[in-house]
Amino acid sequence: MTKKSLIFLFIFSLLSISCQTVQKNETVIENTIYESKDYLHKITSKTYYIAEHNTSCTIISIDLDIPGLELIIKPSSPENKQFPLYSLDSFSREFNSIVSINTTPFYTRKNYFAPLGITKIDNNIISPAEEKYSAIAFYTNKNKKLRSVILKSQKDEEIQKYPFVIGGYFKLLENNQLTFDKNITRRSRSAIGVSKDGRFLYLLCAVPVNSLLDNNGLTFNECAQELQNAGSYNVLLLDGGHSSSIAVKDRIIQKPIGQKKVPSVLGFSIN
């Protein structure tokens, strides 16, 4: 066999391996993260590859009826007038969370970082509202069950009746209808969806695969549609871009290259 033939065979074998890898990445992988003893309440994770946009997407669904489920909301207060920054792996280890996701957008001034929007914990305002943006709220219903609702704005009349409120960006899906008429540029996205009855949460993180440029990912509507397909009736866009990340226990499942630490995180623990 000639040297040219050997080179050709080597290149062909590499291309074959690459094709097999892409095909494998397109397969949906489902894993149960947690099941209670009665097998009725659970947290599940689904990670899949969207080849058209070279994007990896994870959706984690959470049944709020899980016995012993507790919210972990950060920041809980500034430390020495400075909000601490978290990576989700260290956050999970420090607060023993089983699932966590970045949430509220934030602004920076030199070395000062602060949430750009409401953080309300047990009726205490930790960071002020940004009225033009939307939010997610948590409350206990008459049956003493934890439930969630996505609010259209952070105005007082919307947030005042809920003990726990976390700011985001925009409501992408309202009563099962898309709220944006045009597609926005693709990028890394974090978002959270809520079922019609408020019992189930769907946490999404989608990031471009092996890309230094944040020029793939999902548009607003694509993000909403992925969560709608998972079971969401309303969807809130969270901080995205290099802030996007999602973790199971202390393992980060999705994050973009150059991912940043963030001051605002929503986590869940089980006692």
Task: Per-residue pLDDT tens, the chain, 271 aa: give them.
Answer: 554 443 333 333 333 322 323 333 334 444 556 555 555 568 999 999 998 888 999 999 999 999 999 999 999 988 777 899 999 999 999 999 999 999 999 988 878 889 999 999 999 999 999 999 999 999 999 999 999 999 999 999 999 999 999 999 999 999 999 999 877 789 999 999 999 999 999 999 999 988 766 568 999 999 999 999 999 999 999 999 999 999 998 899 999 888 889 999 999 999 8
- pLDDT given for residue 214 in this prediction: 58
Name which of 255, 210, 147 is nearest 18 in CA terms: 210
* Ramachandran area for residue 43 (φ above 0: left; ψ -120 to 50: alpha; else beta): beta
The C-alpha angle 32, 33, 34, rounded to 5 degrees, equals: 100
The pair of three-digit structure tokens given for residue 21, joined into one six-digit string: 């890898």
